[in-house]
Structures are given as structure tokens and as C-alpha cells.
Amino acid sequence: MPRRNHEPKQPKIGQGQLSLSLKLETTDRNRRNVDADDFFFAAEKWLRALKIFAKEQGEHVKWEIVDLRKSSALVEVQPVKVKSGKPAPQLVRKWEQGLKKIEDTGKPDPKFTPESLSALHDFVFSIPTNTVASFGNGAASERHKVTPMTQRRIEQALAAFPPEPRKEYVAQGSLRGLLAVLDSWNPDERSFRLKLPMAPAKPVKCTYRDASLTADLGESFEGMVEITGQLRYRPEQPWPFAADVERITTLPRKPKVSLKDLVGLVRLPEGQDSVSYVRSLRDAE
């Protein structure tokens, strides 16, 4: 019999190459397959955690799918250096080592920063109900299930980091005050100062880009206005220190009451008109 040329066996994808995998399995006996929305939601959280971890390790990589199976829904990815196109197994090792330490001790590993650990926290708590998730890699068949203990260990590790100092923040809103000082009419840097009635010693620097607001500023000079836009706050401060103005509304000044309107509020003596009443008051002085 003629000898048949057998093609060499192809190694399994991921075998011998350190890669990472995520597997979801359903625990619902009435549902054989994993829900697609559940799978992609969890996979997105998992991949985000990997990306942040890689960035903070100084690795510029992309994550390529090296295996994708229907059986219980499994995806396997491998970090590949963008410039060279070569795999980055050391990144996988760091991830596996850091994750194992966290699962064993509940203490943060130096390889995980608060941001990357926070992303990992988001992932493990995104696992849908009636679903079991597990970690794995391309070099070993052993898988690690995401259990309540895993979640608790990651929570403990994240809580071990000192709280980050609060930073300046921005909020959309409106603010009323006295338009007191015009700082600049430069088209590239239009700004003015808004004096707050409750904090006159801390004026708010307001910048704006819309040239049409200039007319409103002129009409409102030294008057009350309401600004709307992005208000910038410092930690522990109730009032903003700056604002990016999108709209200015001129508020009405205190109404001036005429003598006629004032007299109209007074009940006149019977048989006397307003002119006679005012004259009687004048003559009585």
C-alpha cells in the first residue's frame, strides 16, 4: 500500500503560549446555553481589567482572540506587542501571580494599582446570576472559579489602599450673582467676575466663548445675572471658584415705584382725589 503523507499535527491554540481565558457556564437546568448579553457584558468587563493592567505595567499590547468555543461560552485572548507583533507572556505571568496572591491573602499585590484592581472588582461583581465564571490560561488546564470568596478577597485588597485625595470636580448647573468686574474682552479669553451674595469675598471667575454673550454682559454690568454652564468646585468648598459659561440670563433690577403707583396703594379719604390728597399732605407739613 502506498504510504500516505500525514500532515503534522497542529498544536492546540494557546498551548505553550501563555494566554488568558474566561469561561462562563450556566447553572440553570432549563437553559443549556449561556445568554449572549450576559457573556459579552462579563467579557467586556474582564477585557477592560486586562487592558488597564497592561497599561499600568508599561506594556503597549493588543489582545488577540486565540480561541473561542461554544462549549459553555469560552474566550481566550493573548497579549501581543503592538510594535513587534510578538506575544507578551511576562504580562500574563504578572497577572496570574498578582491574582493568586490577592485570592490567597486578600492583600493588594504590587503589580495591581488601585485603578487596575478597581477594574478587576467591577468584573467579578458583574457576573450574572445563574452563571459561573472561571479564569484560565493557555498553559494549564486548571481553572479558577470566581466565587464569593474571590469577590471578598478582591474587596479586601481594594480597601487596603489609602483613600485617594479628593480632586477638583465639575458639575453642570446655574449660579446667580452680581456682575462686578470684566477681566478681558480678548476673543480668545473672554472672562468676568461674578460676586456671590452669600460669599462676596470669593468671586467666581467666569469664562465664555460665545461672542453673542457680550451684549448681555454690557446690559448686565453691575447687575444681577444668572449663569448656566460647567461649574468648577474645589474639595470641601460649597461655592464654585470658576465656571465655563454657556448662557447668561439678565435678572430684573429692583422695580421703581412711581408716585402714582404708591398713591394707588393708599385708601383715599371719601370725596378726595389723589391730587388733592397729596396737596393736603404737603400743606400739612
Question: What is the three-class DSSP state of 26?
Answer: strand
| pLDDT given for residue 15 in this prediction | 44
- For the chain, give the percent of residues with pLDDT over 70: 73
To the nearest 10 degrees (0 to 180), the angle between helices 114-124 and 148-159 is: 160
Q: How confident is the model at residue 104 (pLDDT cuts 50, 70, 90)?
A: very high
| pLDDT given for residue 157 in this prediction | 93
Strand partners, 138: none
pLDDT > 70? residue 232: yes
Whether pTM exceeds 0.95: no
Per-position DSSP letters for 152-163, written without gaps between them: HHHHHHHHTSPP
Considering only CA atoms, which of 204, 208, 211, 89 is closest in space to residue 138? 89
* Helix boundaries (H) for the chain: 36-56, 89-105, 114-124, 148-159, 213-220, 259-264, 274-284
pLDDT tens profile 54-101: 998 888 999 988 888 876 688 888 899 988 888 888 998 899 889 999
| pLDDT given for residue 3 in this prediction | 46
Over residues 129-144, the mean pLDDT reads 73
